[in-house]
Amino acid sequence: MVQVSHRLIDGRLDQTGRADSDILSDFHASLLEVLPNAAAFITQDGSILVHNTRLKTVCADRGVLQVPARLKDLLAESSWNRCEAVLAAAFAGVPAQASGAILLRSGEVFCRHLICTTFIALTAARRAVLVQFDLADSAKNEIATPPVGQTASPRLPAAEEFLAQFPDDIVIFNGTESAGEKAAVLLDAISSNHDADLFAETLEGLDAGRTQSLYVPETRSFETAAFTDERQMCEIRIVPIPAPADGTGQSLTATAGAPRTGASMAIIRRNVDCPRETAENRRLAYLDPLTGLENRRAFTRALKRKLCRLAGDGAGGVAAGEAGGEAGDQDRDRTAGGGLAVFYIDLDEFKKVNDLGGHDVGDDMLLRVAACLRATLGEVGTAARIGGDEFAGMVPAASEEAALELAGKILDGFDRIRLEVGDRVFTIGGSIGVAFVGDGLPLGATDAALILGLADRACLRGKRFGGRSVQIHTVAPAECRTQDAGRAELPEPGSFRGNELTLFAMPIIRLKDQQVFGSEILLRLQGDRAAGLSSRAWISAAERSGVIAKVDAWTLDKVLDAAECNTGRAILTMNVSVESARDPGFRDGLYHRLSANPLLASKLCLEIGEKDFLREPAVVEAFFKFVTDLGCQTAVDDFAGHWPVLSRLTGLRVEWLKLEAGLTQQVVEAPGKAAILAGLVRAAHELGIKVIAKHVETAREARLLGELNIEAAQGYYFGKPAPWPGR
């Protein structure tokens, strides 16, 4: 038999979905009294808002004279952990239950089944879920006869009385109706002219054992939530009704000859927000719109939860209504063990990608970086974009070594990114700061900003050493609760005075006879403000600030002045930025100096990095032709053998290739790769190009490089940079 609330019978449809249905009222307490089991409305953190007399009686029978304010204070720790997972699932919208003995703190059995069903919304954006405690048979018999001094459970009201008090419109089915009959009743209840056959097919496909919701657009065109874009909907929530727990009560669906299984309740609410729109708003609030990674807000919130769990407080830091997937996250954290590695990632030279390729190319690069982070951190990690070219990540890590290894894999992944746009090839690098949080530190949700700040500061240290580095900071107990992890800034290039810039020289050795035949001139900083700041980092900042051409012009003047005073034939090499190669003022200054003394050109070798060549091949080729015509030598610095450069060597006027440091190391660490490098050297020789190896640090490296017929080398094995000219 179908039973319908009086509100629907009386035609008072305009009262459905009213505001007071979201307020915990006396009705909810009376609703608990008609339930056959001990029951309560419980919030996500386990607070017991309202309970029925039966729950109080069960507690009293087991020596608990007062129902506590929190379920956690009532149950044993192991039982509370089980209940916590069930609550998390219920608040995620999936009715769940825990079967098996649920124990009190005393160790006595409290119930055999815990059942969580539909949640209700309360004020202050809080929610509660209806929890029923299904007792063992012996317990049920005890409850049937209350102890002396206890008031017997009130009479269960008739179904009509129950329906009249329910705050929403409801329709109750006893389980004997067909899907078509249910569809007809529901469509009639909401005065809808939707296709009854389609509605019946939808109802027939529902899982009878789960609470599920259907959404009917107010436009009177039935669609499920997955296919509608309507802003306001009519919600029909189908809730299964369990059979009575004992024989003392009256079932809401009990009719003569009717089965006691398959019963359900349809709760009808109008003018509810469209689920798709709600989900989209939530997605936009917590996801970066370009990359699809978490944004800063979502990452900080997730970091708070991780820190609370790491400190042993699984319940802390989780706001009500944010429990979707929490139980699974906790299980994963427990199995991972160890500590937590938090990464702060700042891309190197991303501005050049934006400036040279445009913002569309910059966006494409960010998408590739995001994909690299997803692949590297995997399912157990979290990646986020927290700024324009700044990313963050976290992953369980057993030790500092494991965290460093993963950070290295991230940089290796960046090295494999190649973005070809026309005749340009864009690459990307990054600096990574790691804050490693060991197990057992006294951390909580409020320390998320602190930990991220420490990772940021570690990243900045890497930027000071020139980028593409990993710096790790192990969080100490004394640093907890210390909110001073703000980001320090690099000094602006324009703020340096002339007397803070100086030049050093590193010898270049001819491997055939171990003789010095040239020097690379390096820019260095001096003074207190330059402490801990590498020249590479400052030069990178100068490029971003647009003053690098002036720095290169100052260096060039010093080099040419020294060359005029030196009667020897030693080659002096210096690095030139692509900004200087493009700058007419720099080229004019070079032209006038060499025109006045053409012999200086034979002593000068100007080199440009391979990354700059990949990004602006036309500019570099034109500059090399210009300086070659003046009589200077040219070199491609940090050459890693990329095909776009190799393919242009035949038409490029260049005398030297200076190998990237990694190629030198691979010859020793992976001898099998020596054959590849040998082939590369032979190809360069056939084109009339000589090769210089960099960062040579041992005699073994020098010997192997000589066996590959590499002409020259430089590195600490041959001599460290020294002030130049000599003092």
SS in 3 state form for 249-318? CCCCCCCCCCCCCCCEEEEEEEEEECHHHHHHHHHHHHECCCCCCECHHHHHHHHHHHHHHHCCCCCCCC
Closest CA to 226 of 240, 213, 239: 213
Give the type of residue at 282: R
Structure tokens at 575: 């690095």
Least confident range from 127-141, 212-226, 454-468: namely: 212-226
Model pLDDT, residue 170 = 77
What's the pTM value of the predicted model, to 2 decimals? 0.52
pLDDT digits (tens, 9 = 90+) for 96-140: 778 788 889 888 888 888 888 766 655 445 678 888 888 754 433
pLDDT at 228 over 60: no
Axis crossing angle, helix 296-310 with helix 448-464, rounded to the nearest 10: 110
Evaluate if residue 54 carries a pLDDT over 50.
yes
Are 540 and 460 spatial neighbours (Cβ–Cβ below 8 Å)?
no
Quote the CA–CA distance of 524 and 533 in Å, as a whole number. 10
Reported confidence tier of residue 248, pLDDT bands at 50, 70, 90: very low
C-alpha torsion angle, residues 292, 293, 295, 297 (rounded to 10): 120
Whole-number percent of the chain with pLDDT over 90:
19
Distance between CA atoms of residues 32 and 40, nearest Å? 7
Can you tell me the mean pLDDT for 149-175?
Answer: 57
Number of C-beta neighbours around residue 11 at 10 A: 8
Phi-psi domain of 226 (left: phi exceeds 0; alpha: psi -120 through 50; beta: other): alpha
Cis peptide before 95 (omega within 30 of 0): no
Tokens, residue 199: 């509605």
User: Could you report the per-residue pLDDT of 65-74, keeping only the tens digit for each?
Assistant: 889 989 989 9
Domains of the chain, CATH where assigned: 3-277 (3.30.450.20), 292-479 (3.30.70.270), 496-723 (3.20.20.450)
Kindly state the average pLDDT of the residues 426-445: 82
Collapsing DSSP to helix, strand or coil, 38 comes out as strand
Q: Please give the share of the chain, as a percent, with pLDDT higher than 70.
A: 73
Mean pLDDT, residues 612-631 taken together: 91
pLDDT band at 15 (very low <50, low <70, confident <90, very high): very low
Task: Say if CB 508 and CB 519 are below 8 A apart.
Answer: yes
Report the amino acid identity of residue 403.
A
Q: Is the dihedral of CA 542, 545, 550, 553 positive or negative?
A: positive
Q: What are phi and psi of 113, to 5 degrees?
A: -145, 140
More confident residue, 426 or 198: 426
Highest average pLDDT, of 232-246, 364-378, 675-689, comes from 364-378
The strand pairing partners of 520, in sequence order, are 506, 573
> What is the tens place of the pLDDT at every residue in 548-566?
888 888 889 888 888 888 7
Average pLDDT, the chain: 77
Q: What is the pLDDT of residues 285-319, one digit of tens each?
A: 678 888 989 988 889 888 988 888 776 644 333 33
Per-residue model confidence (pLDDT) at position 142? 37
